[in-house]
Chain A
Amino acid sequence: MLAYIGRRAVLAIFTVWAISVLAFVIIQLPPGDYVTSYIAQMASMGSVVTDEEAQNLRIQYGLGQPIYVQYLKWMRLIAQGNFGMSMEWRRPVTEVIGERLWLTVVVSVAALTLTWVLALPIGIYSAVRQYSAGDYLATFVGFIGLAVPNFLLALVLLYLGFVLFNAHIGGLFSPEFSDAPWSGARVWDLLKHLPIPAVILGLAGTAQQIRIMRANLLDELRKPYVVTARSKGLPESRVITKYPVRVALNPFASTIGYTLPYIVSGSIIVSLVLGLPTVGPLLLKALIAQDMFLAGTIVLLLGVMTVIGTLVSDILLVWIDPRIRLEET
């Protein structure tokens, strides 16, 4: 068991490293650098940045060095636990990201929970009643979430929220709480803002989860141990829930790994439309402004979250599924 976790951990670290490189490259891909976009921004506001100024800026920001140099520089910073300075925000990256990261996680987890609450029963139902009208209906409902372009849905809900319920527009906090210290009231305020994003993001993932659950369960339902259970005289409901469902849950659990990042990634667009103070909009702005340390760090963090997610779910899988446990150890 430990050996297994150890091995996976090593792999994870490798992956993270690879991501850090990739992240850095991605950000360098677009033409120009932060200074270019800074000048452009100034120009479109009518003020002018001369070539000399631009040159100075580049030197001050250490831009213009070859990519690998900049990368190593960044790595050195990270090694010191300092993710660098955000050029646009003129603040340490860690401060800029700050609680946005946790809010991202909160939103994503909320969405994930919703996904499961929907997907599990639906999946079980449509497996047990394969090809029944209910099966189709359930799957249909599941797919709607997948099919609706979530940025549009987000906007419509935002507007209806205002027209019908006079809800506060967007964000995760009412103005008075937006940078208040954490308190019961603030948490409550957060909860009040959660539903819309959670629903929009949750729906998207549901269909996929339903599929997985249904498929797994269909497999299990055909196993003899189900017959055994029946032949004991167990009531059908118990037969299903105690045995096949329990077993089908194992591979299902292993989907957390990529569902979470899937949601986080999806949350970028939705966050933008709903104006959520998550890393999503920050990332977009950073990428556009080519604020490389900020963008790089965010991509890296999201990547790390994914890797950890995968790691956790694998370990979880090993932990809840004795078979694997035995093979692995």
Chain B
Amino acid sequence: MAEQGPIPAADATKQRIFVASQWQLTWWRFRKHRVAVASALVVAGFYLAVLGADFLAYADPDASEAQRSLMPPQRVYWFDGWRFRPHVYAVKGVRDQQSFRRVYRADPDQKIPIRFFAEGFEYRFLGVIPTTRHLIGVDGGLDATKTIFLLGTDVQGRDLWSRLMYGTRISLTIGLFGVTVSLLLGVVLGGISGFYGGMIDTVIQRTIEILRSIPTIPLWMGLAAALPREWSVLQVYFAITIIISLLGWTELARVVRGRFLSMREEDFVVSARLVGCTQMRTIFVHMVPSFMSHIIAATTLALPAMIISETALSFLGLGLRPPAISWGVLLQHAQNVQTVAISPWLMLPAVPVIIAVMAFNFLGDGLRDAADPYT
């Protein structure tokens, strides 16, 4: 009866709904997940900070000075009288012979103006453009009394804010590398496992179960301790990344495998097989893309774990070691009674950790709900 009746082409909206690719649909669903969108912005912000760490930092993260050891965060005054002239007060510090604490007094008569895009130590912006400009800065330079410490200083009198910026760079990139590695492992092994099934599947599944059965800490310790200690900070950095990811891939593999099992028999896969695509081609050209969104979601959810792992490893003294700066290293320095008791601001690096982990989680949840609302 098809010839009966003129059937006008379905109109735009209709098209939009029916023709929309997995990607568009995902995107639409994602958009309505407001918290996730917000998180996405936060994450973006973090990675901008990663790129511009040395621009955002205003002090050399290694410059130490006893005269400003353990200086609490400085209050920023935005207005001078009525005029918008952000400044901080000069501070003088002495060691109190009774309490043996360093006591700092701000001197309201000495206002130190905060300059934007001020001169500072030299660096290469984005690793290329050599410059001395920093987002903010003061004229004082390294003079112990004439400078600014947004978040205070550590025992060696190094500026926490600047160190935090560099820490962010390391920690977030470590997470990224780690996830990439475990992603590859996860997709490949999970894929194979789900695609071929049978013996290979069983083997891989056992492996995963065993890996999961071993408490992570000893695994880390074993592997991390096995690293040649004479390695440079950079080598350790990469090694640690690999280690973390070696243990991170199982979850991803599980997800991928599940997907594969459910998809193995779907028409387009079968047909792909029929037209004689090689197994690998079938997997990576036809199957993987069709659930990329899930992989991305899973990845995002794996990132926080990486970040936490990095801090944990540092805590155990197995992660990055000074002079490298990472969130883990910073937190390890804060991991003592005197910090909690007299210099609590040294615990601030926990804040970006918390924010980042939550952002990634919400983002990941959003992506996953979007990718398919029923998981």
A interface, CB within 8 angstroms of B: 11, 14-15, 18-19, 22-23, 25-27, 29-31, 131, 136, 139-140, 143-144, 146-149, 151-152, 155-156, 159, 207, 211, 215, 218-219, 222, 258, 261, 264-265, 268-269, 273, 280, 283-284, 287, 295, 298-299, 302-303, 306-307, 310
A176 to B15, CA, bound (A): 77
Contacts of A26 in B (CB 8 A): 214, 218-219, 221-223
A149 to B312, CA, bound (A): 8
Contacts of A131 in B (CB 8 A): 33
Contacts of B315 in A (CB 8 A): 149, 151, 269
The chain A residue sitting closest to B317, CB to CB, is A288
Given A15-B209, A15-B213, decide whether A139 and B365 contact each other with a Cβ distance below 8 A: yes
Contacts of B375 in A (CB 8 A): 215
B228 to chain A, nearest CB (A): 8
Contacts of B252 in A (CB 8 A): none
* In the complex, chain B residues 293-316 whose Cβ is within 8 Å of any chain A Cβ: 304, 308, 311-312, 315-316
A selection of 27 A-B contacts at a CB cut-off of 8 Å is A22-B210, A23-B214, A26-B214, A26-B219, A26-B223, A29-B226, A143-B357, A143-B358, A146-B308, A146-B361, A147-B353, A147-B354, A147-B357, A148-B354, A149-B350, A149-B353, A151-B315, A258-B212, A261-B213, A265-B216, A268-B217, A295-B218, A302-B218, A303-B214, A306-B212, A306-B214, A310-B209
Given A15-B209, A18-B210, A310-B213, decide whether A144 and B358 contact each other with a Cβ distance below 8 A: yes
Is B42's beta carbon under 8 Å from chain A?
no
Given A143-B361, A143-B362, decide whether A29 and B217 contact each other with a Cβ distance below 8 A: no
Contacts of A307 in B (CB 8 A): 213
Contact B218 A299 (CB under 8 A): yes
Given A15-B209, A27-B222, decide whether A144 and B216 contact each other with a Cβ distance below 8 A: no
Given A215-B375, A284-B221, decide whether A152 and B331 contact each other with a Cβ distance below 8 A: yes
A25 to B251, CA, bound (A): 24
Contact A207 B210 (CB under 8 A): no
Q: Is the interface of B mostly helix, strand, loop or mixed?
A: helix
4 closest Cβ contacts across the A-B interface?
A: A26-B222, A265-B215, A30-B225, A147-B357
Partner of A222, one of B218, B362, B365, B374: B374
Partner of B226, one of A30, A139, A146, A215: A30
Contact B354 A155 (CB under 8 A): no
A31 to B219, CA, bound (A): 15
The chain B residue sitting closest to A160, CB to CB, is B340
Size of the chain B interface, CB-CB below 8 angstroms:
44
Contacts of B337 in A (CB 8 A): 155, 159
Contact A303 B213 (CB under 8 A): yes
A149 to B332, CA, bound (A): 11
B interface, CB within 8 angstroms of A: 33, 35, 206, 209-210, 212-219, 221-223, 225-226, 304, 308, 311-312, 315-316, 331, 334-337, 340-341, 347, 350, 353-355, 357-358, 361-362, 365, 373-375
A190 to B353, CA, bound (A): 33
The chain A residue sitting closest to B209, CB to CB, is A15
Contacts of B304 in A (CB 8 A): 146-147
A85 to B311, CA, bound (A): 34
A265 to B211, CA, bound (A): 13
A95 to chain B, nearest CB (A): 21
The chain B residue sitting closest to A264, CB to CB, is B215
A261 to B216, CA, bound (A): 9
A307 to B334, CA, bound (A): 36
Contacts of A149 in B (CB 8 A): 308, 311-312, 315, 331, 350, 353
A22 to B315, CA, bound (A): 24
Contacts of A280 in B (CB 8 A): 217
Contacts of A273 in B (CB 8 A): 335
Given A19-B213, A152-B334, A152-B350, decide whether A14 and B206 contact each other with a Cβ distance below 8 A: yes
Contacts of A29 in B (CB 8 A): 222-223, 225-226
A19 to chain B, nearest CB (A): 6
Contacts of A222 in B (CB 8 A): 374
A91 to B354, CA, bound (A): 42
Given A149-B331, A283-B217, A287-B221, decide whether A15 and B316 contact each other with a Cβ distance below 8 A: no
A106 to B41, CA, bound (A): 42
The chain A residue sitting closest to B219, CB to CB, is A26
Contacts of A268 in B (CB 8 A): 215, 217
Contact A15 B210 (CB under 8 A): yes
Contact A156 B347 (CB under 8 A): yes
Contacts of B357 in A (CB 8 A): 143, 146-147
A269 to chain B, nearest CB (A): 6
